[in-house]
């Protein structure tokens, strides 16, 4: 009998523990994924809510109207077609085709799901049509339109501009674009891929911009990294492959190799770092992490840590092989260097205004995350400044400001039959202009000749607009 009672008590305890774990997991899921569940375009509550609630308006940081709903329930977008298209992936569309756009992802505010009990009672007693919250974004439609105009004609790609101190996203431009007032054309073959926000959803080999990560890893993990020298003959053999360079750089220091963006030197460096050394730095910089930001959806960048061969490690160190990153993530890495090793949380929502004229509290967010020691960040910044002053990123230099940056030319095919992706990631170091930028031109060619000058123009425009 005692044995039976013991078994009953044990089963009861196990059941209680399992119930507690289920409740805890449910609370965790609601806390982290609740907003995403509500925002799903397949959620029938959204279509139902649209029938009884006037969807809130969306404006940019300067008050320019980006989206609004009339009393008949019709959603409209900025009357200027160029503006509509420049912010199309950020704002989204009325049908929820762009699930990551503000119109869908922040439906919990725009359709009044966040209204409190007293707000609902007040609206019900007034007899007026219910209205959702209005959202003011951190982006600038003027900057977004300018970037669209400056982007190489006919090319696909992305450009991100952020305030590296606050984490505010000042612009996210993705090409090709679509017109939310003409969704039939947006879904045609001519604009295939326009509904995807390449800034947050596009996963690309980062090419030599990843050398920021490799350099940081060497400075943190290898004693005497500053005294290392590399003999670049234009080819470095590892395993059954060879990492090549366009021309031989000869004998060079680590600093010179970074400035030259020397593939062979960094491939050699990777073998000293090993799988764990480089992998730990990449993961500290949030590769392989499930991004759960409050304001936007960002796809996870990846750095391979499973079954790496020597040659796989070498290719990874220069941002090729299986390494993939989004332009927004690369912008965040630049922000982290600028912030002394603290990576800010990206913010897209500036203010939430209720129909009653009050401000709703913004989500607290998780704040900045420490991703590298300050001493390492300071040294990486010095090397990125050198890249712009006398290296491959010289065409990103901006008169009157100190720019730190890194170019990238990421191969898009093994046999180089397809033009490489052109990258530039960097920022203005002056505290009076805390702007970071990332430019990606798909199949654009050289990062130094294509992406860097575009980044310079974008930074200059951002400074001129005083955002």
What whole-number distance in Å separates Cα of residue 216 and Cα of residue 376?
6
Count up the domains in the chain and report the number: 1
**What is the predicted pLDDT for the residue at 240?**
80
**What is the predicted pLDDT for the residue at 277?**
94
- Whether 96 has a pLDDT exceeding 60, the answer reads yes
What whole-number distance in Å separates Cα of residue 349 and Cα of residue 296?
9
**What is the predicted pLDDT for the residue at 188?**
75
**What is the predicted pLDDT for the residue at 433?**
98
Q: Quick check: is 236 in a domain?
A: yes
**What is the predicted pLDDT for the residue at 129?**
73
Question: Average pLDDT, stretch 443-463?
Answer: 97
- Whether 80 has a pLDDT exceeding 70, the answer reads yes
Of 52-56, 278-282, 340-344, 442-446, least confident by mean pLDDT is: 52-56
What whole-number distance in Å separates Cα of residue 35 and Cα of residue 363?
11
Question: Could you list the residue range(s) of the whole structural domain that residue 434 is in?
Answer: 207-347+364-465
Q: 457: buried, middle or exposed (CB in 10 Å: 19+, 13-18, 0-12)?
A: middle
Q: 159: buried, middle or exposed (CB in 10 Å: 19+, 13-18, 0-12)?
A: buried
Under 8 Å between Cβ of 183 and 120: no
Query: What mean pLDDT is reported for the chain?
Result: 89
Q: Quick check: is 223 in a domain?
A: yes
What are the Cα distances from residue 65, in Å, to 87, 95, 416, 444? 11, 19, 44, 33
Question: Average pLDDT, stretch 182-193?
Answer: 78
Q: Quick check: is 187 in a domain?
A: no
Under 8 Å between Cβ of 199 and 174: yes
Q: Quick check: is 55 in a domain?
A: no
User: Does pTM surpass 0.85?
Assistant: yes
Give the model's confidence band at 113: pLDDT under 50 very low, under 70 low, under 90 confident, else very high.
Answer: confident
Q: Quick check: is 356 in a domain?
A: no
Summarised one tens digit per residue, pLDDT across range 30-51 is 444 445 555 665 666 777 777 7
Residue from 154, 147, 31, 134 nearest 87 by CA: 147
Give me the CATH number covering residue 435: 3.40.710.10
Query: Residues of the chain with pLDDT > 90: what percent?
Result: 72
The β-bridge relationship of strands 53-54 and 130-131 is parallel
Summarised one tens digit per residue, pLDDT across range 227-236 is 899 999 989 8
Q: 35: buried, middle or exposed (CB in 10 Å: 19+, 13-18, 0-12)?
A: buried
**What is the predicted pLDDT for the residue at 77?**
98
Q: Which residues contact 328 (CB under 8 A, 6 or more apart)?
A: 160, 172, 199, 200, 298, 346, 438
Q: Quick check: is 160 in a domain?
A: no
- Whether 192 has a pLDDT exceeding 80, the answer reads no
């Amino acid at each position: 009998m005692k044995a039976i009672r013991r078994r009953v008590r044990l089963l009861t305890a196990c059941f209680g523990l399992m119930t507690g774990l289920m409740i805890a997991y449910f609370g965790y899921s609601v806390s982290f994924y609740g907003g995403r569940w509500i925002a799903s375009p397949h959620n029938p509550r959204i279509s139902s809510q649209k029938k009884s609630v006037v969807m809130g308006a969306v404006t940019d940081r300067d008050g320019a109207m980006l989206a609004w709903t009339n009393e008949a329930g019709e959603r409209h977008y900025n009357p200027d077609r160029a503006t509509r298209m420049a912010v199309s992936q950020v704002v989204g569309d009325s049908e929820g085709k762009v699930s990551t756009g503000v119109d869908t992802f922040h439906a919990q505010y725009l359709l009044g799901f966040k209204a409190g009990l007293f707000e609902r009672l007040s609206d019900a007693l007034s007899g007026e049509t219910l209205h959702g919250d209005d959202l003011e974004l951190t982006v600038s439609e003027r900057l977004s339109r300018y970037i669209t105009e400056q982007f190489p004609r006919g090319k696909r790609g992305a450009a991100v501009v952020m305030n590296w101190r606050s984490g505010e996203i000042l612009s996210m431009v993705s090409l090709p674009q679509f017109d939310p007032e003409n969704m039939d054309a947006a879904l045609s073959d001519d604009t295939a891929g326009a509904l995807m926000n390449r800034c947050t959803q596009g996963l690309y080999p980062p090419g030599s911009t990843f050398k920021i990560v490799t350099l940081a890893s060497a400075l943190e993990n290898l004693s005497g990294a500053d005294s290392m020298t590399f003999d670049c003959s234009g080819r470095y053999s590892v395993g059954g492959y060879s990492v090549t360079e366009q021309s031989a750089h000869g004998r060079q220091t680590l600093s010179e190799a970074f400035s030259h963006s020397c593939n062979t030197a960094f491939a050699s460096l990777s073998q000293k770092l090993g799988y764990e050394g480089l992998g730990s730095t990449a993961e500290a910089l949030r590769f392989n992490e499930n991004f759960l930001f409050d304001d936007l959806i960002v796809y996870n960048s990846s750095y391979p840590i499973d079954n790496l061969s020597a040659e796989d490690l070498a290719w990874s160190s220069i941002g090729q092989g299986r390494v993939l990153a989004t332009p927004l993530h690369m912008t965040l890495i630049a922000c982290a260097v600028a912030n002394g090793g603290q990576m800010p949380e990206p913010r897209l929502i500036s203010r939430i205004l209720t129909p009653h004229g009050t401000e709703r509290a913004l989500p607290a967010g998780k704040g900045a995350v420490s991703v590298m020691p300050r001493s390492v960040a300071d040294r990486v910044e010095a090397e990125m400044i050198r890249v712009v002053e006398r290296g491959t990123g010289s065409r990103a230099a901006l008169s009157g400001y100190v720019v730190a940056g890194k170019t990238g030319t990421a191969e898009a095919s093994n046999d180089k039959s397809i033009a490489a992706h052109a990258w530039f990631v960097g920022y203005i170091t002056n505290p009076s202009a805390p702007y970071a930028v990332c430019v990606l031109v798909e199949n654009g060619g050289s990062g130094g000749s294509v992406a860097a000058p575009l980044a310079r123009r974008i930074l200059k425009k951002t400074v001129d607009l005083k955002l």
